[in-house]
């Protein structure tokens, strides 16, 4: 379902036009200046304009409009973490709503403020009926903005109270409200961001992908937009990384790193950039980005642990994850930490530690029941079963995980899972089937440029090699056959639809596995051992 086609708005132009005549603006114009200033990132002007607008509205006897300005003052200050001043303005709102001349249109905002207050004090369950009351009152007054923000708040409260299915349905309801075209831009922006952030934090990648696309369209229609541009771009980067669009994701994260002013968003951008550098094998760049994220207060696990793993420092990797497991709160991050813990525990040969982490991951996946978390959990359980010598039990788990990644259009995770499937198949005695799985994974990982995972794949594929079997992969055997025919790397690349660099890497790996110094020596070895019978 597509969200309404947003009209293009030039907030920069409107801000400059109104700000030039600020002293002479009427209440409606000051209100609009407050909104335009907020959108272009001029919070000082925004707060001043809304404060003056609310006084001008009161002078004109328009209490409902005055309350609206006060509400947005409190809301925006709260979103920026200024709880003291936000609380003061919310107190002012309650005072105005208690006046004898207050009419029903302000009831929704008053109820919403009460709900926000309860939720901010950690009383999620108590805030749920308050949010429902705010929605009912706002709908009765035809106040679409307040009803939408109250629905957003209700979704967050339901999540915090553990009512996950209801929460996700409520978030869908937020988007439906925006889709009807009656919600203003000032309410649509925060609603989009809050919903997508909640979905990503809970591992609901399917919904997050849909709404991130809509948020991007909305942001693109708002010229000069600042408050949501960084968040929008970073949400896009997260979803693009999962979808295998690593170059685009890295570019998006770098853009936020260069332009973002808000500390939390900037820290998240550096973390995203670090993880993208890591999976591509750029260890130094990844470490630098992680240092920047940590300096801004961001927890850098599990990326740092996986970086240690890539470098062969399994003890350091495990130490970092041990701390992260005791501090990670949001389900998606916690699940990723647990999934990393399973991998690293198995690399260390500590099966019981892997079992414990996999069991905890299964509990998290069951609680939130999203496809992403189920796929993570199934792969972890499958990997543990393979390591425990139960490949027949592992296969359905790993195939279920692979099917989940395919549905999510997550090629990297699908390829990593196929490596595990290959290990299970090989353990059941099907060497050729294992090679097919390894080769399929290799093709995807090469296309993505996942250098550390390619190195692990080659180690896995050759783990059972014997003296008579040099452990060449299926693709390496194909390359060796063509080398034995005297073909150049360029000709081999064209024939196998690979890059010359990939072919060169295969040739280097072949020479190392055969223990020979040159292509001619590899050719002789191939004929001597029957590895190039068709050459």
- Return the domain boundaries, the chain: 9-239, 240-299, 471-535
The pLDDT of residue 91 is above 80: yes
Which class in CATH covers the domain with range 9-239?
A: mainly alpha
pLDDT bracket for residue 349 (50, 70, 90): very high
* 64 closest CA partner among 33, 30, 109: 109
pLDDT tens string 110-152: 899 889 889 988 899 999 999 999 999 999 988 899 999 999 9
Task: For residues 339 and 390, give the distance between their C-alpha atoms in angstroms, rounded to a whole number.
Answer: 19
DSSP output for 211-277: HHHHHHHHHHTEET--TTHHHHHHHHHHHHHHTT-HHHHHHHHHHHHHH--SHHHHHHHHHHHHHHH
pLDDT score of 228: 67
Any idea what DSSP says for residue 104? G
The pLDDT of residue 535 is above 60: no
Q: Are 97 and 66 in contact (CB under 8 A)?
A: no
What residues form DSSP beta bridges with 144? none
CA terminus-to-terminus distance, the chain: 55
Mean pLDDT throughout 261-273? 92
pLDDT score of 2: 41
pLDDT score of 464: 57
pLDDT score of 69: 92
Mean pLDDT throughout 319-339? 86
Query: Which tokens hold the place of 341?
Result: 């813990």
Task: For residues 99 and 132, give the distance between their C-alpha atoms in angstroms, rounded to a whole number.
Answer: 24
pLDDT score of 497: 87
pLDDT score of 368: 85
Percent of the chain, pLDDT > 90?
A: 51
- Residues of 448-470 as b/e, b for ≥16 C-beta within 10 angstroms? bebbbbbebbbebbbeeeeeeeb
pLDDT tens string 370-395: 999 999 999 999 999 999 999 999 99
The pLDDT of residue 5 is above 70: no
Residue 532's H or E segment, with its range, is none
Mean pLDDT throughout 436-443? 92
Mean pLDDT throughout 161-187? 87
pLDDT tens string 410-429: 999 999 999 999 999 999 88
Task: For residues 226 and 40, give the distance between their C-alpha atoms in angstroms, rounded to a whole number.
Answer: 5
pLDDT score of 84: 86
The hierarchical CATH code for the domain 471-535 is 1.10.10.10
To the nearest 10°, report the CA torsion of 182, 183, 184, 185: -130
pLDDT score of 466: 47
pLDDT bracket for residue 532 (50, 70, 90): low
Q: Are 67 and 96 in contact (CB under 8 A)?
A: yes
pLDDT tens string 312-323: 999 999 998 988
The pLDDT of residue 101 is above 50: yes
Beta strands in 205-288 (DSSP E): 222-223
How big is the chain by its Cα radius of gyration, in Å? 28
Cis peptide upstream of residue 279 (ω within 30 degrees of 0): no
Helices (H), 389-518: 391-407, 411-427, 431-448, 451-461, 474-484, 489-496, 500-514
Query: Which tokens hold the place of 363?
Result: 């509990």
Q: Are 191 and 183 in contact (CB under 8 A)?
A: yes
What residues form DSSP beta bridges with 222? 9
What residues form DSSP beta bridges with 223? 10
What residues form DSSP beta bridges with 9? 222
The phi-psi region of residue 82 (left if phi > 0; otherwise alpha if psi is between -120 and 50; otherwise beta) is beta
3-state DSSP assignment of residue 10? strand
Task: For residues 60 and 333, give the distance between their C-alpha atoms in angstroms, rounded to a whole number.
Answer: 51
- Mean predicted lDDT score pLDDT of the chain: 88
Query: Which tokens hold the place of 184?
Result: 């203003």
Mean pLDDT throughout 467-487? 80
10: phi then psi, degrees, rounded to nearest 5: -100, 90
Task: For residues 190 and 472, give the distance between their C-alpha atoms in angstroms, rounded to a whole number.
Answer: 54
């Amino acid at each position: 379902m597509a969200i309404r086609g947003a009209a293009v708005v030039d907030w920069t132009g409107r801000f400059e036009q109104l700000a030039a005549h600020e002293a002479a603006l009427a209440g409606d114009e000051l209100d609009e200046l407050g909104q335009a200033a907020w959108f272009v990132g001029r919070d000082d002007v925004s707060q001043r304009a809304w404060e003056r607008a609310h006084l001008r509205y009161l002078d004109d006897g328009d209490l409902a409009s005055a309350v609206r300005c006060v509400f947005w003052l409190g809301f925006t200050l709260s979103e920026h973490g200024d709880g003291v001043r936000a609380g003061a303005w919310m107190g002012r709102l309650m005072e105005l709503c208690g006046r004898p001349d207050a009419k029903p249109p302000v009831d929704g905002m008053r109820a919403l403020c009460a709900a926000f207050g309860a939720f901010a004090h950690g009383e999620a369950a108590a805030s749920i009926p308050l949010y429902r009351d705010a929605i009912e009152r706002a709908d009765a007054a035809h106040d679409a903005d307040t009803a939408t923000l109250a629905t957003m708040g209700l979704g967050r409260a339901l999540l915090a109270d553990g009512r996950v299915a209801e929460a996700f349905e409520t978030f869908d309801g937020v988007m439906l409200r925006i889709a009807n075209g009656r919600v203003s831009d000032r309410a649509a922006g925060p609603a989009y961001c809050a919903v997508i952030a909640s979905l990503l934090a809970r591992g609901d990648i399917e919904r997050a992908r849909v709404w991130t696309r809509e948020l991007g369209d909305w942001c693109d229609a708002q010229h000069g937009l600042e408050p949501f541009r960084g968040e929008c771009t970073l949400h896009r980067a997260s979803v693009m990384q999962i979808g295998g669009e690593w170059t685009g994701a890295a570019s998006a994260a770098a853009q936020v790193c260069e332009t973002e002013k808000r500390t939390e968003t900037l820290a998240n951008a550096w973390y995203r950039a670090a993880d993208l550098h890591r999976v591509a094998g750029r260890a130094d760049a990844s470490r630098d980005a992680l240092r920047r994220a940590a300096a801004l207060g961001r927890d850098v696990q599990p990326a740092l642990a996986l970086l240690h793993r890539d470098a062969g420092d399994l003890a350091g990797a495990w130490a970092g994850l041990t701390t992260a497991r005791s501090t990670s709160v949001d389900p998606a991050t916690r699940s990723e930490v647990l999934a990393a813990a399973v991998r690293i525990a198995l690399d260390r040969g500590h099966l019981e530690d892997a079992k414990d982490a996999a069991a905890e991951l299964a509990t998290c996946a069951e609680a939130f029941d999203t496809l992403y978390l189920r796929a993570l959990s199934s792969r972890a359980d499958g990997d543990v079963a393979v390591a425990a010598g139960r490949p027949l039990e592992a296969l359905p788990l790993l195939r279920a995980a692979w099917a989940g990644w395919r549905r999510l259009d997550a090629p990297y995770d699908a390829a990593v899972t196929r490596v595990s499937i290959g290990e299970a198949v090989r353990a059941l005695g099907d060497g050729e089937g294992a090679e097919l799985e390894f080769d399929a994974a290799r093709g995807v990982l090469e296309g993505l440029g996942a250098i550390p995972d390619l190195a692990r794949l080659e180690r896995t594929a050759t783990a059972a090699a014997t003296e008579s079997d040099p452990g060449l992969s299926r693709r390496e055997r194909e390359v060796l056959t063509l080398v034995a025919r005297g073909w150049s790397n360029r000709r081999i690349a064209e024939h196998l639809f690979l890059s010359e660099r990939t072919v060169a890497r295969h040739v280097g790996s072949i020479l190392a596995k055969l223990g020979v110094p040159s292509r001619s020596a590899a050719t002789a070895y191939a004929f001597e051992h029957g590895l190039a019978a068709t050459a």
